[in-house]
Amino acid sequence: MILSLIAQRIALGLLLLMAVSVLIFAGTQILPGDVAQSILGQSATPVALENLRKEMGLNDPAYVRYFHWLFGIIHGDLGTALTSKLDIATSIKERLWNTLFLAFWAAIISVPLAIILGLVAVRYRNGPIDKLISGFALASTSLPEFFIGYLLVYFFAVKFQIFPGTSMVYDGMPFLDRMQAIALPCTALMLGVLAHMMRMTRAAILNVMQSAYIETAELKGLTAFEVIREHALFNALAPIINVVILNLAYLVVGVVVVEVIFVYPGMGQYLVDHVAKRDVPVVQAVGLIFAAVYIFLNVVADVTSILANPRLRHPR
């Protein structure tokens, strides 16, 4: 039964990824203007434009170009960048590592902190501490990431000059220097997901705290923290794990704005640079990678919820 449910989620994920690939390809094809003209410039001759269109396969029907692109993706060929003539897979490798490195440290800090703050808010619910934590979460959720990023740059890079305003990293960079370079973008990402995870943790535990067995545990003389730790937290794990994994997906695919603000050499910056250059193969490849990561982590969230919640394993 469990294996059947997991197989269904994986199959749905693959179908969704296929549908997203169609949307990504169609979206890049219906953009106004001529790709060949934008690459060669206004001074290009008609012969040069026609040769480039033929080289890029732009004269073929759209469905032929889509299946050719999809066939290459399946075999690990992401294509060649139009502007630099470099292999996209090779160019993306280091960029993807930089993005995952940034998202990893943002997750390492934000996930435990969100759960701890959620537990503390439940322990002191409706009190000053709970209101302070909830107010911070509401403010953090209300402020867009680019605004938080600019605030961090102003105070910590310009005014106090503690951290660099641009997060330039390179291969072989010492670990401590790299950590200092990503401090501000990591903080901006962390604040973006911390509030959501904390509020969901608080809501999930408060929902469990209404159960009869919680009242029984309290009547036994257990302290509030013991009740939360030994009884409420475990039964609230399914929604907490679900929201944590979904926020991890956001950390990976939602870094575009943060990377642009801090000039961080990751996937987001790479995507924005090539959107400006109208480099369609790069835009398609990066968009599909982001979609694949997001869908994969959503499937992981669904499977984890099924394994953590017996009621989902036996639907009526």
Q: What is the pLDDT of residues 269-282, one digit of tens each?
A: 999 888 877 788 89
More confident residue, 97 or 39: 97
- CATH 1.10.3720.10 maps onto the chain at 89-313
Mean pLDDT of the chain: 84
pLDDT band of residue 50 (cuts 50, 70, 90) is confident
pTM above 0.85, yes or no: no
Residues with Cβ within 8 Å of 276's Cβ and at least 6 positions away in sequence, in order, are none
Pick the CATH number of 89-313 from 1.10.3720.10, 3.10.310.30, 1.10.10.60, 3.40.220.10: 1.10.3720.10
Q: What is the pLDDT of residues 133-187, one digit of tens each?
A: 888 888 887 888 889 999 999 999 999 989 998 898 888 889 999 999 999 999 9
pLDDT band of residue 124 (cuts 50, 70, 90) is confident
Residue 261 sits at the vertex; the CA angle it makes with 199 and 152, to the nearest 5 degrees, is 60
pLDDT band of residue 212 (cuts 50, 70, 90) is confident
Q: What is the pLDDT of residues 17-43, one digit of tens each?
A: 999 999 999 888 777 666 677 667 677
Q: What share of the chain is helix, strand, coil (3-state, %, to 5)?
A: 75, 0, 20
For range 295-316, the mean pLDDT? 74
Query: According to the model, what pLDDT value does residue 174 have?
Result: 92
CB-CB contact of 56 with 82 (8 Å): yes
Residues with Cβ within 8 Å of 234's Cβ and at least 6 positions away in sequence, in order, are none
